[in-house]
Amino acid sequence: MKIMAASAKRMLNSLTQLVRSLHTQPASLSSFRSSRELQPLEQYPEVEIVHNPPEWKFVERLLPPATVPQPIAKPAYPSGWQPPKSDGLASGYFVARTKNHMVPVYLHTRYRGQRRLTVVRRVHGDIWALERELRALVERARNGKLCATRVNELSGQIHIHGDYVDLLRTHLKQLGF
């Protein structure tokens, strides 16, 4: 019994020494604790700031563009993307594209995927007319079954219960938005 108590006591002493050494030495993985203290400014070399160096053109190539460029006009795109054709004056409403030139129709899943909501954003103008048209389209796709919708006029959004993202995107592209 005395042998076990002595070995436990030695193990406890070595553990406390290890903990003390960790707290007194600078951490090897921390850049803050292991870095040198700030020296007087006279010990550091002079730095010349060049506002327009000739090497800057190589850096500018690597930077992302500030805005998304306008797409090049083609008769057909391989991805199936279509540019907007209508300004919405004839229909009384307009669905603006996103900054990446995409139709703003999204799928929101709630309750661990049990509830799906299709959201149409960026609607301007007569949002109620667009909601009636989209609800009629979804009900035709559901073989006459009613579908629940919600309109938020302030944010310009239409929420439709169910997953109808592809159906609504193709319909809005056909309308020219």
Give residue-wise pLDDT tens across range 79-108: 888 888 887 788 899 999 999 999 999 999
- Is residue 116's pLDDT more than 60? yes
Q: Return the number of other C-beta atoms located less than 10 Å from residue 177's C-beta.
A: 25
Q: What is the pLDDT of residue 141?
A: 95
Could you give the maximum distance between any two Cα atoms of the chain, in Å?
97
Give dist(CA 14, CA 160) in Å, integer. Answer: 67
Q: Return the number of other C-beta atoms located less than 10 Å from residue 57's C-beta.
A: 8
> Residue 135: is it exposed, middle or buried by C-beta count within 10 angstroms (0-12/13-18/19+)?
middle
- For residue 105, list its beta bridge partners: 120
Give dist(CA 158, CA 126) in Å, integer. Answer: 12
Q: How many CA atoms lie within 13 A of 96 on its CB side?
A: 9
User: Between these two residues, 18 and 148, which has the higher pLDDT value?
Assistant: 148
- Confidence band, pLDDT 50/70/90 cuts, at residue 131: very high
Q: What is the pLDDT of residue 8?
A: 65
DSSP 33-72: HHSPPPPPGGGSPP----SS-TTHHHHHHHSPPSSPPPPP
Q: Do the Cβ atoms of 94 and 127 come closer than 8 Å? A: no
Give dist(CA 4, CA 28) in Å, integer. Answer: 35
- Confidence band, pLDDT 50/70/90 cuts, at residue 142: very high
- Is residue 119's pLDDT more than 60? yes
- Confidence band, pLDDT 50/70/90 cuts, at residue 160: very high
Provide the 3-class DSSP secondary structure of residue 99: coil
- Is residue 33's pLDDT more than 70? no
